[in-house]
Amino acid sequence: MRLDVVTIFPEYLEPLNVSLVGKARARGQLDVHVHDLRQWTHDRHNTVDDTPYGGGPGMVMKTGPWGEALDQTLADGYDAGAHGPVLVVPTPSGRPFTQELAVELSERPWLIFTPARYEGIDRRVMDEYATRMPVYEVSIGDYVLAGGEAAVLVITEAVARLLPGVLGNAESHRDDSFAPGAMANLLEGPVYTKPPEWRGHAIPDVLVSGHHGKIARWRRDEAFRRTAAHRPDLIERCDPAAFDKKDRETLSILGWAPEPGGRFWRRVEGVEE
Ligand code: ADE
């Protein structure tokens, strides 16, 4: 996969040389190009922003440098096969970044990121490139960062670990929170390693029972417990048809019940967590 990042803070992307993404680059699985947006400015001050039309606080990133940067990045060319590049624009007003979107992006051969500073990029830049390629405006959460660079790091890491051969053990994706499958919509429960006792805290006995069925059941119950506590919205989204008898028992103990004839579960008042 090829990644291009155009930014006014190229040094912010240094972490792309480290850890999983760094190793994927070293192995040739990821071809990363970071560009300084200011190289496409032509004035003495290397200006990339200007005051907003219509007034208001802050500054808006100008069309000119972005247009030249993206034209040249695209013209440098990369054989993306049948699929061309995708433009990924991190912004708090974008669609939420989810595991599903990470999977979708991981299937594209070429991602071009345009992290913005200030109040964002002049709308016409996204409108122009949307005539040539898919443009995904993406938010990594309901908070406002000082710029999109940290979001690029987040999105890149989530996408890179899904690329074939990047994680040592392909099975590692299987139990991810938010991964599709039997545990879809459930958060992962707690994990433990040696020693079996630490500062008076013992590991759950079932994990050393050697009984795979019981271990799987315990993990699923813990996933329900954690999801009910941290993300009740995810439980409400589950399809009860995907639950077995024990799932229903566990949910009932946690204070959830099926809505009469409905597909969602809701919290029953007065039951302790
Ligand atoms: N830029 C500023 N805040 C952001 C957010 N929450 N997600 C993506 N890009 C951003």
Q: Which pTM value belongs to this model?
A: 0.92
**122-180 tens-digit pLDDT:** 999 999 999 999 999 999 999 999 999 999 999 999 999 999 999 977 666 766 778 76
pLDDT of residue 272: 55
Distance CA 72, CA 62 (A): 17
Pairing of strands 49-50, 60-61: antiparallel
Mean pLDDT across 188-203: 98
The total of other beta-carbon atoms located within 10 Å of residue 211's CB is 12
Domains of the chain (ranges plus CATH)?
A: 2-160 (3.40.1280.10), 197-267 (1.10.1270.20)
Q: What is the mean pLDDT of the chain?
A: 92
139 CA closest ligand 1 atom index: 7
Cα 180 to Cα 50, 119, 228, 262, distances in angstroms: 44, 36, 18, 22
Instruction: Pick out the residues of the known binding site.
Output: 140-145
Catalytic residues: 92, 119, 161, 176
148 CA closest ligand 1 atom index: 1
Ligand 1 pocket check for 163: Cβ under 6 Å: no
* Exposure of 85 in the CB half-sphere (CA atoms within 13 A): 25
Chain centroid offset of residue 181 CA: 18
Distance CA 63, CA 85 (A): 20
